[in-house]
Amino acid sequence: MASGNDRWSDMGGDARRRTRDQGPRPRREDREQAREQQRRDDRPARPSQDQRRGAAPVPVQVPIDPELSGPPAPKLDTNDLLALAQMDPTELAAMLSGNLGRKEIEIGTKVTGTVTRVGRDTVFVDIGTKSEGQIERGTVPDARPGQELTAYVASMGEHGIELALTLSGRAAAEHLEEALASGLPVEGKVASRNSGGFEVRIGSARAFCPASMISRLPEVDMDAFVGQTLQFRVVETGDKVVVNRRVLQEEELETKAGEIWAALEIGQQHRGTVRSVQDFGFFVDIGGVDGLVPRREISWAGGADPRTAVRIGQAVEVVVIDIDQERRKITLSVKALENDPWHAVGTAFAEGGVYAGTVVRVEPFGAFVELAPGLQGLVHVSKLGGGAPDVGNAIDVRLLRIDPERRRLELAPVSAGETSTAASSDTPVSGTVLEVLRNGVNVQLADGRIGWLPEQEADLPAGTVLAQRYRRGRPVQARILRDDSRKPTLTVREALDEEERSWRSHQAKAAPAAKGGGTGFGTFGDLLAGFQPKK
């Protein structure tokens, strides 16, 4: 049995043997270096500089248009702040702007964005790219911030991304197939005209527009389109590009037609364009809606021929006189804008009176006689006696009966020896100023005729012009100087009243004093000459 000393000796020997087997114990500094190395080994491997340049950027949540975005960028651990700090500045800026990994837009690309601001001439649109898109305000006059807008990339350059509602130039030529599929209008210039239609240049591409597709209105001068830049719709591509302009006009007018029908009322006045002329009247386009002007509504003077009254493409003023919403029909009138000659019936033309007229139409049942422009009456065949007169003949008739409800006048030829009630030469007449010209005044007389008052017969004061004395709508008292059944010549020289004569006399006496530069009282010597001292 071993003693205690022996046991301690054995333990010491074992320890010495372990120490000898493991080698010398490391120093404290060595132990600290080993622990630091272990920490470095446990840290994630950091990419080299070359690897960092090819590393994927940190994903940033930026809205990207699906049509413009490419495949998603590989993810990067955002916790590695050291990697972000050591990224290339250009790469980091591109990543933050949302352009990294995005497909570049091209001219002709269709984009949808949001209006951010509206300038005086330009509307700015956020289309999800680094630069905002710009479009002329005139093409989108109703644009407002926050509104969604779809347009096409027209150009890209140092001034930014230019947008347009239609394609033109190189963009149009390169995207004809897309324009055909989407119905997108393209802009082209009419280069020349041939027997079948027009040659249209769309950028560098050549297209053909048939004559029937250039306008919805049958224009009189088709050559007027040559040289114009217009909008077209592509209807055929391939070996031959065919375009149509008329369909765009019809679509635009169809949109406006709904607004016009909603606001249409009887009595409204519109300015329209004559679309077609028929024997029974002519059709007028009043902004997308066609209305008919019947023959009877062309003029107060009966027998107006539509084919000679207007021409296709002519601008006319019309008044709405009837609306049929169910059948979508509108009746228009041109004569409603003129003075109704029937207003003179009962005053200038009274029952029993004898008036001078002109035969304007002869029918089997009688002859129509015009008493004033637009005012006609019928002489029944039973009253003609010796046979119907010829059209254009002058005839004196008596007004037998007035039918105000049906607006009809019954006439009869006067007996031999009867005189007309119409004003004759040197007869006082009254009227209203109709128009003031440089050399005279047109006067609407009470009998329906228009009289002519020459400047020399107006009896104007010295230094006065016609426009100062005669104004439209003012009454005029005159005499007939020379009688003409259509347009008598008037004078007012002896039609002045006593007050006017006194004023004229006063002006004549005051004129010499005014010319002398005095006050009209003469010199002091002149006053003394008239003074008689008392005796």
Question: pLDDT-derived band of residue 186, with 50, 70 and 90 as boundaries?
Answer: confident
Q: Based on the fold, state whether residues 351 and 326 are members of the same structural domain.
A: no
CATH number of 197's domain: 2.40.50.140
Q: Based on the fold, state whether residues 303 and 324 are members of the same structural domain.
A: yes
Asked whether residue 299 is assigned to any structural domain, the reply reads yes
| pLDDT tens sequence across 487-503 | 788 888 765 444 454 44
Asked whether residue 471 is assigned to any structural domain, the reply reads yes
| pLDDT tens sequence across 381-440 | 888 877 788 888 888 888 888 888 888 899 988 864 455 555 555 678 888 888 888 888
Distance CA 115, CA 143 (A): 7
Residue 438: other Cβ atoms inside 10 A: 8
Q: Based on the fold, state whether residues 271 and 331 are members of the same structural domain.
A: yes
Q: Based on the fold, state whether residues 275 and 330 are members of the same structural domain.
A: yes
Asked whether residue 178 is assigned to any structural domain, the reply reads no
Asked whether residue 150 is assigned to any structural domain, the reply reads yes
Pick from 337, 358, 389: which residue ends a domain?
337
Identity of the highest mean pLDDT range in 69-73, 231-235, 433-437, 522-526: 231-235
Q: What does the pLDDT read at residue 473?
A: 84
Asked whether residue 149 is assigned to any structural domain, the reply reads yes
Cβ(160)–Cβ(133) below 8 Å: yes
Q: What does the pLDDT read at residue 44?
A: 56
Question: pLDDT-derived band of residue 32, with 50, 70 and 90 as boundaries?
Answer: confident
Distance CA 145, CA 117 (A): 5
Q: Based on the fold, state whether residues 392 and 409 are members of the same structural domain.
A: yes
Average pLDDT for 371-389: 83
Q: Based on the fold, state whether residues 225 and 290 are members of the same structural domain.
A: no
> What φ, ψ does residue 103 adopt, rounded to 5°?
-75, 135
Q: What does the pLDDT read at residue 99?
A: 45
Average pLDDT, the chain: 75
Overall domain count for the chain: 6
Residue 167 or 326, more confident: 326
Q: Based on the fold, state whether residues 407 and 433 are members of the same structural domain.
A: no
Pick from 337, 359, 386: which residue ends a domain?
337
pTM, two decimals, is 0.40
Distance CA 291, CA 333 (A): 9
Report the alpha-carbon angle 246-251-252, nearest 5: 100
pLDDT exceeds 60 at position 45:
no
Strand stretches in 328-474, DSSP E: 329-333, 354-363, 366-372, 375-380, 394-403, 408-413, 428-436, 440-445, 450-454
Asked whether residue 423 is assigned to any structural domain, the reply reads no
Pick from 250, 275, 291: which residue ends a domain?
250
Asked whether residue 486 is assigned to any structural domain, the reply reads yes
Per mean pLDDT, which range of 81-85, 273-277, 415-419, 480-484 is the poorest? 415-419
pLDDT exceeds 50 at position 102:
no
Q: Based on the fold, state whether residues 228 and 189 are members of the same structural domain.
A: yes
Q: Based on the fold, state whether residues 85 and 126 are members of the same structural domain.
A: no
Q: Based on the fold, state whether residues 331 and 345 are members of the same structural domain.
A: no
Q: Based on the fold, state whether residues 126 and 145 are members of the same structural domain.
A: yes
Distances in Å between the alpha carbon of 162 and those of 104, 158, 420, 511?
15, 10, 78, 73
Q: Which domain holds residue 89?
A: 49-96
Q: What does the pLDDT read at residue 219?
A: 61
* Amino acid at position 308, single letter: T
pLDDT exceeds 60 at position 521:
no
Asked whether residue 35 is assigned to any structural domain, the reply reads no
Q: What does the pLDDT read at residue 520?
A: 44
pLDDT exceeds 70 at position 96:
no
pLDDT exceeds 50 at position 8:
no
Q: Based on the fold, state whether residues 316 and 374 are members of the same structural domain.
A: no
Residue 100 or 331, more confident: 331
